[in-house]
Chain A
């Protein structure tokens, strides 16, 4: 079965600091991978998706970036965090039937 790991689980960072969130998946090969953000009390917003190694598509303009250095690894980064980057970051994969979500990383920018 497919498993999604996200690291870290929680993170508190100062404004202007860099960010790196990691997502790794098991039990599947060549998955479509997604990064979502959920701000407090709001719906999920798609940030990036990737259909393969090195292939990244951005859904919204922002100070975040994503990379996929390996088939089962998806990384979300920022060079300088903003207060508005606080939220719950979810990595997801799809198996052609539905999207499954990882446990998420809760980020608080102060």
Chain B
């Protein structure tokens, strides 16, 4: 079966660093996405990992370990606007880009 787990909620302080973990059990894994979703809005793309290792993109970084079925999203220098839900999604190999989403992690950034 397919299972994607991520914490339901996290809190952090403005200016700090937070790591949001995602574990998955799937077959036919192709890659892993992270999306950001502000309340009432559509998800927006943050990162895509295919190979093991860390991908850095400004204040956001994403890590993948295919052998461990594990990924994390690292947010540095947190800002109030980073308060949002962060969705982990696994892409399956096949004729189309099928994504299975986790339930999302709701991050609250406090002053």
Contact = CB atoms under 8 A, between A and B. Distances in A.
Contact of A90 (B42, B89, B98, B100): B42
Interface in A46-66: 46, 49, 51
Contacts of B97: 32, 94, 96, 99
A104 interface: yes
Contacts of A42: 103
Interface in A30-85: 32, 42-46, 49, 51
B35 to A, nearest CB: 8
A98 B42 contact: no
A104 B37 CA distance: 12
B43 A44 contact: yes
Interface residues of A, number: 20
A51 B95 contact: yes
A94 B96 CA distance: 9
A41 B45 CA distance: 19
B96 A98 contact: no
A97 B99 CA distance: 12
Contacts of B102: 43
A7 interface: no
Nearest to B103: A43
Given A32-B97, A94-B97, A97-B48, A102 B42 contact: yes
A90 B95 CA distance: 21
A106 B40 CA distance: 9
Interface in B19-59: 33, 40-45, 48
Contacts of B89: 44
B33 A49 contact: no
Nearest to B95: A51
Interface of B: 33, 40-45, 48, 87, 89, 95-104
Interchain residue pairs A-B with the least CB separation, the first 3 = A43-B103, A101-B42, A44-B101
Interface of A: 32, 42-46, 49, 51, 90, 94, 96-104, 106
